[in-house]
Structure 1
């Protein structure tokens, strides 16, 4: 009996030690966050271990674990849900069941997952799309796209753009009863990156007559040039998304060659001949003072041009929308940007907000104190529910 008690006590201590991480005082429901982080860390650790043994690629293992969570297209009393394809790109469509009084809004949604993970069948993505369709009486198109490491940039961008162009075709909008003047684009994390990139691209596409009314970027990844901004420094080991994982995902977006990841971690992956582009991502001039918090800007350490010759996507505005020239930003629609205090990607969103405002774009910036990356994926956590509710409210008023 004593041995059993000692065993269970030891096991409980080890589990508590694994789960517990120190969190700032302003993080709500800290034990929920710790549990969420532990749940997400476990498959990540297993995937890293399998990769270390040479058994499987890290991303492939993670996709295996995540695939068990996918949900089928299930209609409910309020929303009809179906899977189909738009020009061979898989999409999931949410259409309210109540009889429309007029043409409906339309929202094109892009899931996150670092260009490597996730799908429109992931429970959080499915729930948010379903909730959006019902609350807004809107048709929501949630798109998939091919993922790294099997596919690299620009495949993800091209898949999303292909599906979006299909949706924006007048006959397709008409078939779903969508008002062509009330279509928005939204995306989370890597999906926010893709949303920003395709919205910029639409401005230059003469074939698209129905331009988006709004864009919504939820803690987006918008640049790969500088992985040493204040948010990367402050939150490098914060739960849900660490700096090392984010850099790994950026690297996988372009290549399975781990030398790029190593160069990005040390912030030595951009060549001198591309130095003129750093003005677009210079946080020392683009961040509000309160977010600099005494951080000192380090001038870039330039690399040879070898990496950018092998992987030209590093310099492509479709991969890093923050590299867009001001003249390209001026035509963008009203924009909603969510950033979170404890997120390595916080400064990407903050810099884009500054650049959009400087270019005359109407921007609503919702910075969530005490929040972390992926907050809206956890609607059972109070701060996640509040953030999602604020997002829906903005869409209600502006789309």
Structure 2
């Protein structure tokens, strides 16, 4: 009986080790921790896909339940914080305020969480602790935007709600209510939140110039609606705008899923190449069956004229250093699937893909801190945005971590405690402390 028990235990241990183990780059931080996190997330993804295929629940809802369950394990820190759950122009937000006040105006940060525009619990767990930490360390007011997510809503709702919340907060009377210095407000976001933060920064910069038009690059039309007219009238020339933007491993474009970093890190946890493509399709309300097509870059094949105006904006072969390009080459078929960009025009919309913004828009953007990770499929998205902003004469601080992986900032708290995540948070908060 003892031999049978020992044999069964050995087999179970070997099976578990086989499932958990995966080859990782030699330079990645704390690889065994990352393997465990990767195996956990991989299991949740498989469970979500099975539930979806059986018609039991949408796979995003299953993943959201798992993420929420894990976030509940993260204990609250920095208790010396006053919090207010409220609405900014109909959008749910939480405002964090340090309790100790000296009567002077304080800086502020508008924080937009990541999670593929579909996951994330901004008022719970790691994001809650992160916002508390920013508020205390910066002695700042921090606003976290609890925008609605897929599959309940899709683009442009997430973008529009973040813009609405930012516009509301940047009104001078609202800033005065929270004792915020209107010249010291930043916007910050990670991953998909970095995407939204970059897009919101572009929009607010245009608002401050009195440009109330909303440009949709998927057509030749310029549309104006009452909300944008109101924004133009309330903000106007010389209005309040963001001083800084902090983009943490941002996702910025859906035109090339074969950049050097997508090729190099396609299987590195926790953001796999096919998973990022799935998030894009979900966000843009596209057919999930297009996954294989866009992974091959058939949607931006060389015969696709709609993509031509944007090709130079995603040409990573010219915008990232040679040592990062390594042996990788650009992959664009000669002929592809022209119906994709026709059916999903939002792929070319800078509101969804801030990297595709025109030069004159980028020139108005606030000074930036952009963080990239070597072991991240989105590394080159951030690198290309650094390049484009610098060529638009925008001041950019680029911090690249050779030992970092996507999502590390969310794993800087119990029970993870990845040292590189703690370091990354401390670094960008220190930059904000100096520049904000």
TM beyond 0.5: yes
1:317 aligns with 2:347: no
- What is the rounded CA distance, in whole Å, between the counterparts of 1:260 and 1:398 in structure 2? 43
Give the CA deviation at 1:150.
Answer: 2.1
Partner in structure 2 of residue 89 of structure 1 = 91
- Indicate if the aligned counterparts of 2:194 and 2:249 stay in contact, CA closer than 8 A: yes
Of 268, 274, 283, the match for 1:244: 274
Unaligned runs of 5+ in 2: 211-231
Name whichever of 143-152 and 254-263 sits farther off: 254-263
Partner in structure 2 of residue 143 of structure 1 = 145
**SS of 2:92 mapped into structure 1:** strand
- Indicate if the aligned counterparts of 1:340 and 1:367 stay in contact, CA closer than 8 A: yes
- Indicate if the aligned counterparts of 1:186 and 1:192 stay in contact, CA closer than 8 A: yes
**SS of 1:204 mapped into structure 2:** helix
Of 400, 425, 428, the match for 1:367: 400
Give the CA deviation at 1:174.
Answer: 0.7
- What is the rounded CA distance, in whole Å, between the counterparts of 2:129 and 2:79 in structure 1? 14
**SS of 1:217 mapped into structure 2:** strand
Q: Deviations over 1:214-255 (max 9, x none)?
A: 000000000111111000000001110000100000111112
Partner in structure 2 of residue 18 of structure 1 = 19
1:278 aligns with 2:311: yes
- What is the rounded CA distance, in whole Å, between the counterparts of 2:132 and 2:114 in structure 1? 17
- Indicate if the aligned counterparts of 1:339 and 1:346 stay in contact, CA closer than 8 A: yes
Poorly superposed stretches of 4+, deviation over 6 Å: 72-75
Partner in structure 2 of residue 178 of structure 1 = 180
Of 116, 119, 123, the match for 2:118: 116
- What is the rounded CA distance, in whole Å, between the counterparts of 2:21 and 2:174 in structure 1? 50
- What is the rounded CA distance, in whole Å, between the counterparts of 1:84 and 1:59 in structure 2? 26
- Indicate if the aligned counterparts of 1:339 and 1:367 stay in contact, CA closer than 8 A: yes
Partner in structure 2 of residue 297 of structure 1 = 330
Name whichever of 18-27 and 196-205 sits farther off: 18-27
- Indicate if the aligned counterparts of 1:47 and 1:58 stay in contact, CA closer than 8 A: yes
Of 327, 336, 341, the match for 1:308: 341
Q: Deviations over 1:295-349 (max 9, x none)?
A: 2223454545433333221110101111111111112111000000000000000
Alignment CA distance shift 1:341-1:122 (3 Å): farther
- What is the rounded CA distance, in whole Å, between the counterparts of 1:287 and 1:69 in structure 2? 36
- What is the rounded CA distance, in whole Å, between the counterparts of 2:248 and 2:334 in structure 1? 30
Partner in structure 1 of residue 62 of structure 2 = 61
**SS of 1:350 mapped into structure 2:** helix
Alignment CA distance shift 1:86-1:253 (3 Å): same
Q: Deviations over 1:258-299 (max 9, x none)?
A: 133232111112332331211111111111222111322234
- What is the rounded CA distance, in whole Å, between the counterparts of 1:351 and 1:76 in structure 2? 36
- What is the rounded CA distance, in whole Å, between the counterparts of 2:326 and 2:68 in structure 1? 40
**SS of 2:398 mapped into structure 1:** strand
Q: Deviations over 1:30-53 (max 9, x none)?
A: 211111112222211111122232
Partner in structure 1 of residue 205 of structure 2 = 203
- What is the rounded CA distance, in whole Å, between the counterparts of 1:68 and 1:299 in structure 2? 41
- What is the rounded CA distance, in whole Å, between the counterparts of 1:301 and 1:149 in structure 2? 34
Partner in structure 2 of residue 44 of structure 1 = 45
1:395 aligns with 2:404: no
1:253 aligns with 2:287: no
- Indicate if the aligned counterparts of 1:167 and 1:173 stay in contact, CA closer than 8 A: yes
- What is the rounded CA distance, in whole Å, between the counterparts of 2:295 and 2:199 in structure 1? 24
Alignment CA distance shift 1:144-1:77 (3 Å): closer
- Indicate if the aligned counterparts of 2:78 and 2:136 stay in contact, CA closer than 8 A: no
- What is the rounded CA distance, in whole Å, between the counterparts of 1:5 and 1:105 in structure 2? 61
- Indicate if the aligned counterparts of 1:192 and 1:217 stay in contact, CA closer than 8 A: yes
Alignment CA distance shift 1:35-1:104 (3 Å): same
Alignment CA distance shift 1:31-1:102 (3 Å): same
Partner in structure 1 of residue 248 of structure 2 = 218
Name whichever of 282-291 and 104-113 sits farther off: 282-291
- Indicate if the aligned counterparts of 1:199 and 1:215 stay in contact, CA closer than 8 A: yes
Give the CA deviation at 1:101.
Answer: 4.4
Q: Normalising by structure 1, what TM-score?
A: 0.96
Aligned residues: 399
Counterparts of 1:315-394 in structure 2, within 5 Å, are 315-379=348-412, 380-394=417-431
**SS of 2:82 mapped into structure 1:** strand
Unaligned runs of 5+ in 1: none
- What is the rounded CA distance, in whole Å, between the counterparts of 1:45 and 1:351 in structure 2? 32
